[in-house]
Amino acid sequence: MEVVIVKDAQAGGELIAEAMAALLRRKPDALLGVATGSTPLPVYEALSAKVRAGAVDASRARICQLDEYVGLPADHPESYRSTVLRQVVEPLGLTEDAFMGPDGNAADVQAACEAYDRALREAGGVDLQLLGIGTDGHIGFNEPCSSLASRTRIKTLTQQTRVDNARFFDNDIEQVPHHVITQGIGTILEARHLVLLATGEGKADAVAASVEGPVAALVPASALQLHPHATVVVDEAAASKLKLADYFRHTYANKPVWQGL
């Protein structure tokens, strides 16, 4: 696992966007897994700016969702399908044909989970999966004590996650669904490159537990320690609880250019 400490959210967004751009230059039809929420917005803004400037051609890129609410209409502004289309697909100049996501309104939700897991494999697998992290260490909607071998499945959100997400629903927790479809931790670990972005002091404990603590289902993001190519990008605030922060800074400052992100 590589830990990169950056000045702020914008710097983290630019760093990850350049990694995505470099991937698209090598593999124009790369499958990019995207996360939702406020944290990854600087990444999408920086990548779309590169596309507009002609620094990278994203016309053949493919985009896939990490998770989705169950029972929320697909065209609801806070469904993750709508969010990804609005924040990623459209700014990159892509159409819905380039987009993959689970069906949160399927009559048989479990079958929809299995179908999405299968679709990701049939698409050749995710080349780069962007992740956020919850204050309790969850990734995707894999809440604490999720199986580290789990596949795409239905999950029940914790009260804390619903409280955290209420800001997207007019601060009304009653509007936040109780259930979601999420890529499982086992599914996530199959991506070729995992990139986790965390910003703000509120994520510091979760980052420290995930990076420096034991691999444990209680902290789902700690599973990134098992991946051969995982990168954790954090701003100074999110890095504030890391015991090895100085080492991580030294390592990155002396990293060979040819290694990339």
Please confirm, yes or no, whether 164 is among the known catalytic residues.
no
Q: Determine the 3-state secondary structure of 37 from DSSP.
A: coil
Q: Which helix (H) or strand (E) holds 181?
A: strand 179-182
Q: Which helix (H) or strand (E) holds 194?
A: strand 193-198
Biggest CA-to-CA distance, the chain: 53
> Rounded CA gap, 200 and 119, in Å?
34
Copy the structure tokens of residue 58: 């994203």
Catalytic choice (18, 103, 138, 193): 138
Give buried/exposed letters for 54-93 (b at 16+ CB in 10 A, else e). eebebeebbbbbbbbbbebeeebebbbbbbbbebbbebbe
Single-letter amino acid, residue 56:
V
Catalytic choice (68, 143, 164, 235): 143
Instruction: For the beta carbon of residue 255, count every other beta carbon within 10 angstroms.
Output: 13
Q: What is the dihedral of CA 154, 159, 161, 165, to 10 degrees?
A: 110
Catalytic choice (136, 164, 193, 235): 136
End-to-end CA distance of the chain: 11
Please confirm, yes or no, whether 136 is among the known catalytic residues.
yes
Please confirm, yes or no, whether 178 is among the known catalytic residues.
no
Please confirm, yes or no, whether 67 is among the known catalytic residues.
yes
> Rounded CA gap, 49 and 133, in Å?
25
| Residues taking part in catalysis | 67, 136, 138, 143
